[in-house]
Amino acid sequence: MARYLGAVVCFAGLAVPALGAAQAAQNATLRRAQLAYDNLEYRQVLTLARAALRERLTGAERARAYELLGFTYGAMDSILKAVDAFKQLVLIDPERQLDPNRVSPKAYSAFDVALRQVLLVRQLRVDSVSFVGGQGAVPVRFTVTQPARVVARAIGTGGTVVIDSGAWNGQVNLRWPARLAGGDPVPPGTYTLVVDARLGQNTFSASQPIRVSHGRVDTVPSVTSLPGYQFLPETEIPPQSWRPVGLAFLYTGGALVGTLGLESSSLGSGSKRELGLVGGAALVTGFVMMLRKPAPRPAAANILYNRLLRDQIARRNQDIARENVARRQQVQVTVAPVPQVTPK
């Protein structure tokens, strides 16, 4: 029972990738081949798929027919034939990818072998990116299925610009600064990124249209503070003390002692009414000031700190001003891939 269940699951797995495409097939023979594949009637699949390939098919239908052949040969352990079928498939549709989780290992390995036996440039991708001209680059990546001499070019409004070239195999990552030979940013417009691969007499090209646009570089606003640094209060309120009344007492006492010392003995003891009036006022004022909240006084350390901070901010703003002058002369380059219309 367990073995029977496993076989059902295995066959179901083989059939899954074919489901979606079977619904899209317009050719009657191809549809029958798909139905036979779904029913595990492999010999009939071979007959019908080959027959379909002799008929007029669209590119997608032709690719589907070879795919059915590849899967069927794989299921029948005819690996070499499966590889041949898959080679035809990837030549028609180089971007075709199998999901290793949904196809049988035999079919997947046959597909993988087929990929390595034909020269392809696949999965050409250009990321959307925006940067200041001369200070960034456009990431370009693609896969070359065989060791080959590869040249990547951008062809468009600004002429043809060679991005890079070399002998590459497998995943290739390039960075295109989007500049002309003179160093200026490429003019805005639509470009086609073309990757040519050559191995002996075999050549293959892949392309991806991209749109290059220019914009103004954002200027940097001036700063009024530095992150992590705060202005400190430039005055501080000293703690209350007896100093006011002490000083008033000291000054009044000095006047009293001086008066007593200077008084002439021959003139007798002088009137203290005048000193009492003013000295009393000074003492009362000192006492009141002692009780009052002290006046804020300059905080020298904070003033120095704030001055240094202001100097730093001024220096930063000077740098920003210089940077903004340069930025106004720069251009913001934005590169975005243009979606390709898939032929039916």
Partner 1 sequence: MSRAALGALLLALALRPAAGQLVTVGPQFALADYREVASGLRYRGSGFGGSLWARRDRLSVEAAVVRLSLDPADGSAATTGFTATQVDAWVAYDVAAYASVEVGVLHRSADPEFDAQSVGAVRVGARSFYEIGPGATVVFRANYLAAPKFSGGGRAAISLDLGLGLDIRLAGRLHGTATYAFNRMNRKTNPGGTGEIDAPIQVSLARVGLALGL
**Interacting residues toward partner 1 by CB under 8 A:** 243-245, 247-248, 251-252, 254-255, 258-259, 262-264, 266-268, 270-275, 277-279, 281-282, 285-286, 288-290, 292, 294-295
Of residues 40 and 277, the one with the C-beta less far from partner 1: 277
Bridge partners (DSSP) of residue 203 are 198
For strands 202-216 and 331-337, give the pairing: antiparallel
Of residues 218 and 263, the one with the C-beta less far from partner 1: 263
Residue where the block lists tokens 């003033």: 303
Query: To which H or E segment does residue 201 belong?
Result: none
Q: Least CB distance from residue 272 to partner 1, whole Å? A: 8
d(CA 235, CA 299): 5
Residue where the block lists tokens 């990818």: 97
Q: Least CB distance from residue 240 to partner 1, whole Å? A: 11
Of residues 292 and 315, the one with the C-beta less far from partner 1: 292
Q: Give the number of other Cβ atoms within 10 Å of residue 248's Cβ.
A: 21
Q: Least CB distance from residue 304 to partner 1, whole Å? A: 19
Residue where the block lists tokens 């930025």: 327
Do residues 74 and 82 lie in contact, with contact meaning Cβ atoms separated by under 8 Å?
Answer: yes
Q: Give the number of other Cβ atoms within 10 Å of residue 158's Cβ.
A: 18
Q: Least CB distance from residue 231 to partner 1, whole Å? A: 24
- Distances 98 to 74, 91, 146, 245, 339 between C-alpha atoms, Å: 14, 15, 19, 95, 22
For strands 159-176 and 138-156, give the pairing: antiparallel
**All residues at 6 or more sequence positions from 225 whose CB lies less than 8 Å from its CB, including other chains:** 231, 313
Of residues 300 and 308, the one with the C-beta less far from partner 1: 300
Of residues 287 and 305, the one with the C-beta less far from partner 1: 287
d(CA 36, CA 32): 6
Q: Which two tokens stand for residue 318?
A: 């000077």
Of residues 169 and 259, the one with the C-beta less far from partner 1: 259
Of residues 125 and 292, the one with the C-beta less far from partner 1: 292
What is the phi/psi pair of residue 194, to 5°? Answer: -115, 130
d(CA 221, CA 250): 58
Q: Least CB distance from residue 305 to partner 1, whole Å? A: 23
Q: Least CB distance from residue 234 to partner 1, whole Å? A: 17
Q: Least CB distance from residue 236 to partner 1, whole Å? A: 14
Residue 235 CA to its chain's centroid (Å): 47
Residue where the block lists tokens 């005055």: 235
Of residues 147 and 270, the one with the C-beta less far from partner 1: 270
Q: Least CB distance from residue 218 to partner 1, whole Å? A: 43
